[in-house]
A = this chain, B = another copy of it.
Amino acid sequence: MRELGRHILIEMYDCDPDVLNNLETIRTEMLEAAIVSGATIVGEVFHRFTPQGVSGAVVIAESHLSIHTWPEYGYAALDLFTCGDTVDPWVAFGYLAEKLQAGRTSQTEVKRGLFPTELGQARPYKNTPAQRSDC
């Protein structure tokens, strides 16, 4: 079996509420987390809620990084999904845990896209190369 990607689900508790509620800070740090982990950013979307909280996603060539914050609980839910071997999602995790000043975290890594055979033997699509350019 081989997986196409790794998906890390992260709970960050006891974060700085002011950081969690700042749209520009969250956006900047999520983009920076993508960069420091070696990812290629291809798109982004962020939104601040009323009365509080920020949600957003950074789409990368290697999948995505997402975040949802609840400042009132000092809590953020993140998931860092990467495919290929060039990006290390744990680097992004370490970066964000520090920037959000998380007091406590828990994280689970899930393998995504499991195939019973070597990927090179998978069904080709219109005779294009068998791999996405970045994975």
Contacts and interface: CB of A to CB of B under 8 A. Distances in A.
Contacts of A29: none
Interface stretch (A30-38, A58-66, A89-97): A58-66
Interface in A16-51: 17, 21, 42-47, 49-51
Interface of A: 4-5, 7, 9, 11, 17, 21, 42-47, 49-53, 55-57, 59, 61, 63-64, 66, 68, 70-75, 77, 79, 81, 83, 108, 110, 112-115, 119, 122-126, 128-134
A114 B75 CA distance: 10
B45 A57 contact: yes
B51 A47 contact: no
